[in-house]
A and B are shown apart, each in its own frame.
Chain A
């Protein structure tokens, strides 16, 4: 069959192309990521960075959360570019605010944001305090029992026979 390159064909072709581009845009802006906000003591480059006693965190314009030392919380976000605001007080009760933006790689479902590392290195590259997080294997291991899939509407009749 010979393809007729008429004006109608090109209109349809461009329309399909626009829809495909739109679909890709939707994929980028609608992709959900989980940001784990971690306030635990960590060791970076052989140097120990201690957890903060109490810290207030806000991701984008969502409700802020308070984390004590060794706490971990999570926030679900959509899209790739986000901001984090960290409010904490030092030992002299002086309040500090750090605001940073970060970008979650598209195919990373879950990232871990280390608050102590961010506070210790507020100007550092995001790769220092934001890393991909793979849930432990036991958390995603399948249940032992196989799930029964019911696809036959009439199966209820068969059991009575």
Chain B
């Protein structure tokens, strides 16, 4: 016997499951007319944001599959990507070769950091998200040590445009003019006046296809099993710890590549700050797309990028038009970014408890039917 829900209950359940995307849809529905932006402008901005951020957000999917939650430790990969970019800027490698070389340099660093992060997360089972968040802060200290004191002193960096006047350490900002929009402009077409960077979108598509394929592989299935129940997976002969480490390594490597693609679009690297917020905003965008701590897919990534960044685009102008202050919009979007993560995490727990309650009711109904 199945427990029947009324139509209202079903509707409420669907709304409850998609609370965050619905909330953002409502915000955007109010914000777009207030901002006064044209549809063409908004569409071109959204395309830019999709090409800029999607790769980073897709890198979060694999740890979720392995039951490790949202990988705030993706900042480790971002740091590795930035080190690659600093080195190619010093060597004067430009264009697509520069981007690929930066990715090659970032790979071993990302693998090493990901492996180390995975090891620690295995020790902090059940508290992966907060642990990875703090690892990001800790690693930032090491990154600063390397970049601020190691580069130019221990690691050879010759370019005066990169080095601080004292002769070692990297400047606050690194101009990435050599690789700026190199991938975006490789295959740029205009559709109704909207610039579409086909090459970047192609790279993102390949990554999405890889994720879909990966889920079907033996390793992908192992990760799914580990994500569902670690003890059952262990009993089935899956190396649980090893599988979890691999998921973090893959995520960190992709985050490094994502950061390189992100910065080639921006064209400037804020040496000591660029990587800090990237984890937070990527996680927020994924959650806005309707993902949860335990479940996320590619649809969530793109819906999240569109909704989250749409709010970023419209909020300053909407704030200015509403009360004459763009500052309100700035405040609002930062407030919403952190707020959405909080709401998502709370909703996840509420939903989990509600599902457990529903399973309990279902069980009771089944037993009643048997008697």
| Residues on A facing B (Cβ under 8 Å) | 19, 22-23, 26-27, 29-33, 78, 109, 140, 142-151, 153
Contact = CB atoms under 8 A, between A and B. Distances in A.
B93 A30 contact: yes
B100 A147 contact: no
- Which of B92, B105, B160, B167 has the most A CB atoms < 10 Å from its CB? B92
Contact of B178 (A22, A32, A146, A147): A32
B172 interface: yes
Interface string B143-175: 010001000000000001000111101011000
B215 to A, nearest CB: 23
A81 B82 CA distance: 30
B30 to A, nearest CB: 31
A30 B101 contact: yes
Q: What 9 A-B pairs are tightest by C-beta distance, nearest first?
A: A30-B97, A142-B165, A30-B93, A26-B97, A26-B101, A32-B94, A32-B92, A151-B272, A23-B104
Given A149-B172, A149-B272, A151-B144, A27 B164 contact: no
A147 B94 contact: no
A147 B104 contact: no
Most buried by B among A27, A33, A142, A151: A151
26 contacts: A23-B105, A26-B93, A26-B97, A26-B100, A27-B93, A27-B101, A29-B97, A30-B93, A30-B95, A30-B97, A31-B91, A31-B92, A32-B93, A78-B94, A140-B160, A142-B160, A142-B165, A142-B167, A143-B165, A146-B166, A147-B164, A147-B171, A149-B169, A150-B172, A150-B273, A151-B148
A148 B169 CA distance: 11
Interface in B21-50: none
Nearest to A145: B165
Contacts of A144: 165
Interface in B157-216: 160, 164-167, 169, 171-172, 178
Nearest to A148: B172
B98 interface: yes
A78 B91 CA distance: 12
Contact of A27 (B91, B160, B167, B273): B91
B276 interface: yes
